[in-house]
Chain A
Amino acid sequence: MGAVHLAHDVLDAQLVDRVQEKIGRVDALLLEIEAGRPPRVATIVIGGAARAERVGRWFVAIRRAWRAMFGQREEHVSRIPFDKVRRIGDTIELDVEERSLDSEHLERWLKEHVVCRIPGAGGERK
């Protein structure tokens, strides 16, 4: 297996779970640096908090104020160890399940509380 280009091929790449369901993008990639050892690719982070940090401090501050206004406390962020990566290609496949991810909280909440209460929302394909 050749070298993986982290900025080009991994950061912002589409993530899919075991059954190829889309589960967000690589919002941040954490490296572990230790003297005398090569930096280790440690964690994939998915979630709004990670994205906000990439935009800038001002954006983090606005986001915090916004969330405080609406009383949102919990950060729904998923941190996935990099050794869960099964395949790196057009998408990155992770050895996880969509329903176990905290970052998919909104998707589940909308499904349960909104979408499934409207007729015609269920089933696989139309």
Chain B
Amino acid sequence: MKKWGEVALGVVTSIGGFLEVGSIATSTQGGAEFGYRLAWVLLLGTLSLGFLMEMTGRLAAVSKRTYADLLRERFGYRFFLLPLVAVFAVSFLVLASEIGGVSIALQMATGISFSWWAIPVALLGWALLWRGTFGIVEKGTALLGLVAIVFAVGALKLHPAWPAVGRGLLPSAPSENRARYWYLAVSILGASISPYLYLFYSAGAIEDEWTIEHLGVNRVTAGLGNLFGGLLSVAALIAAALVLAPRGIRVDRYEQIAMVLASPLGRAGFVLFLATLCITCFGSTLEIVLAIAYMLAQGFGWAWSENLKPGKDARFAMSYTVVLLLAAVPIAIGMNPLALTNVSMVATAASLPVTVIPLLVLMNDGDILLNHTNGWPSNIALVIIALLSVVLLVAALPLQLLGGG
């Protein structure tokens, strides 16, 4: 019985955690410019993330070590620096974008410019981390994050033509604006498959003291949770495709996105959109900064746990403190949050090989996973994701230059 409670909670966590600044921005941009056509990319991203989370969760539950632990232990310090630097850099950008997301939501609600909100938001997040426990961060933000379901309600109310949505789930390329199309595809993948998500997830498995008995919970959480979360991004894409695309509105600023829900749901939709943007971005802010601090602490062997008082793991606590405050700076000095988000998503996509390819080795290591190593379906999926990640790395910069404008 207790286990089903955990399953339910886990699923809720992934739904609430799925939608954040990157997926809201890229899904609505995709819907506004290309209708349902990019829906298949969301599906691909969701599936890939599901596989990666299942694997890193299994890795942690069986070996009692996090993915970052194993990156250092199995591949040595020299190699470890590569994912460390890559993840640190892109997660920092995404973190700044999330702070931007919260700030812009507050700006839309109050009329006070987003740049004023960045520092207070960072301080509030920091206070929660300093005083709170892992459970509060994980479950609190996830439950509140369920407000994101408003996207599904909005999409349904707009009565999409389902056969057309179905066709969007099959890969296709438009005849014009190809560079922009593929640029958005890369951004959407970057928004769905973020390294911080699986690094946080694998550290969370240790914080929640998972064992082999949790493998079922892990599978359901990674599978169902991501499926529901992915559906919410598809809903955002559908809503944008039906509200913005027919009028020829492109998303040039975050402010334009709120109309996507205000149009079908009226004032309630508008308010709930602001709440969704604010809460989900704030939740992701906490998760990302923890993921960064986890990776540093685990890689260097420091004491770490969000359940310990900061006095017991000073280096860990100072890592999230400093990173969080630094990440507020770009927004506080007025950098455009949407532009920052788009760059972060493409950078994230480009960073994937260094965290995906090592999994090929780890997930087949019987010393670590005993008899829970990857079967052939997982291995085929992982090889496909690894190849995809290399394509993203190669394509990211040219597409940023050609389609970023």
Q: Is there direct touching of A and B in the complex, by C-beta distance under 8 Å? A: yes
Residues of A within 8 A of B (CB): 8, 11-15, 21-25, 27, 46, 51, 54-56, 90, 106-108, 110-111, 114-116, 118, 120-126
Check if B304 is an interface residue, CB within 8 A of chain A. Answer: yes
Chain A residues lying within 8 Å of B317, measured Cβ to Cβ, are 115, 121
What are 6 residue pairs bridging A and B, where the CB atoms are less than 8 Å apart in the complex? A14-B301, A24-B301, A54-B77, A108-B314, A115-B318, A121-B311
Interface size on B, residues (CB 8 A): 32
Whether a CB of chain A sits under 8 angstroms from the CB of B73 is: yes
Contact in complex: B69, A107 (CB < 8 Å): no
Residues of chain A lying within 8 A (CB to CB) of residue B65: 90
B315 within 8 A of A: yes
* Contact yes or no, B300 A25, CB < 8 A: yes
Q: Across the interface, which residues of B come within 8 angstroms of A54, CB to CB? A: 76-78
Are B130 and A125 interface neighbours, CB within 8 A?
A: no
Given contacts A25-B72, A90-B65, A115-B310, contact A51 B132 (CB under 8 A): no
Task: Using CB atoms, name the residue of chain B closest to A111.
Answer: B314
A89 to chain B, nearest CB (A): 10
Chain B hits for A25, CB < 8 A: 72, 300-301
Q: Are A14 and B131 in contact (CB under 8 A)?
A: no
Query: B283-323 vs A: 1/0 string, CB under 8 Å?
Result: 00000000000000000111110011111101101100000
Name B101-123 residues within 8 Å CB distance of A. Answer: none
Is B73 in contact with A12, judged by CB distance below 8 angstroms?
A: yes
If A23-B301, A115-B318 touch, whether A13 touches B73 (CB-CB below 8 Å) is yes
Binding site for A on B (CB under 8 A): 63-65, 69, 72-74, 76-78, 80-81, 130-133, 300-304, 307-312, 314-315, 317-318, 367
B132 A110 Cβ-Cβ under 8 A: no
Compute how far the CA of A54 lies from the CA of B81 in the bound complex, rounded to whole angstroms: 11
**B311 near A111 (CB under 8 angstroms)?**
yes
- A110 B78 Cβ-Cβ under 8 A: no
> Residue on A with the closest CB to B315?
A107
Q: Give the most central of A8, A15, A22, A56: most B CB within 10 Å.
A: A22
With a cutoff of 8 Å between Cβ atoms, the chain A residues found around residue B72 in the complex are 12, 25
Whole-angstrom CA separation of A108 from B314 in the bound complex = 8
Alpha-carbon distance A46/B302, docked complex (angstroms)? 12
Q: How far is the CA of A124 from the CA of B305 in the complex (A)?
A: 11
Smallest distance from the beta carbon of B63 to chain A beta carbons, Å?
8
B21 to chain A, nearest CB (A): 28
Report yes or no: A122 in contact with B309, Cβ–Cβ below 8 A. yes
Chain A residue with Cβ nearest B302 = A22
Neighbouring A residues of B63 by C-beta, 8 Å: 90
Other-chain residue from B74, B301, B309 in contact with A126 (beta carbon distance below 8 A): B309
Asked if A24 meets B300 with Cβ closer than 8 Å, knowing A12-B73, A110-B314, the reply is: yes
Are A55 and B309 closer than 8 Å at their CB atoms?
Answer: no
Q: Are B81 and A120 in contact (CB under 8 A)?
A: no
Which residue of chain B has its CB nearest to the CB of A112?
Answer: B314
Q: Which residues of A contact B300 (CB under 8 A)?
A: 24-25
> Are the CB atoms of A118 and B130 closer together than 8 Å?
yes
Chain B residues contacting A122 (CB-CB under 8 Å) are: 309, 311
B130 touches A120 (CB 8 A): yes
Known: A54-B78, A90-B65, A110-B318. A123 touches B302 (CB 8 A): no
Closest-CB distance, A65 to chain B (whole angstroms): 18
Report yes or no: A126 in contact with B314, Cβ–Cβ below 8 A: no
Report yes or no: A106 in contact with B315, Cβ–Cβ below 8 A: yes
Q: Which of A23, A27, A115, A123 has the most CB of B within 10 A?
A: A115
User: Which 4 pairs show the lowest CB-CB distances between chains A and B?
Assistant: A25-B301, A110-B314, A24-B301, A121-B310
Chain A residue nearest to B65 in the complex (CB): A90
Asked if B132 and A126 make an inter-chain contact with CB atoms under 8 angstroms apart, the answer reads: yes
B80 to A, closest residue via Cβ: A12
Q: Is the beta-carbon distance between B77 and A21 smaller than 8 angstroms?
A: no
A51 near B311: Cβ-Cβ < 8 Å:
no
Knowing A22-B304, A24-B302, A115-B318 are in contact, say whether A12-B311 is a contact too (CB < 8 A).
Answer: no
Cα distance, A47 to B77, chains bound together (Å): 12
| Contacting residues, chain A, for B74 (C-beta < 8 A) | 8
Whole-angstrom distance between the Cβ of A70 and the nearest chain B Cβ = 16
Instruction: Name the residue among A21, A90, A110, A122 with the largest chain B CB count within 10 angstroms.
Output: A110
Provide the residues of chain A in CB contact with B80, threshold 8 Å: 12
Nearest-Cβ distance from residue A42 to partner chain B, whole angstroms:
20
Q: Roughly how many angstroms separate A93 CA and B133 CA in the complex, as a whole number?
A: 27
Point out the residues of chain B lying under 8 angstroms from A8, CB to CB.
Answer: 74, 367
On chain A, the residues within 8 Å of B132 by CB distance are 126
In whole angstroms, what is the CA distance A107 to B314 when docked? Answer: 6
**Nearest chain B CB to A16's CB is how many angstroms away?**
9
Closest to A7 in B: B76
Using A12-B76, A118-B310, A125-B307 as known contacts, list a sample of 10 further A-B pairs with CB atoms less than 8 Å apart, ordered by residue number in A. A12-B73, A12-B77, A12-B80, A24-B300, A54-B77, A116-B311, A120-B130, A121-B130, A125-B308, A126-B309
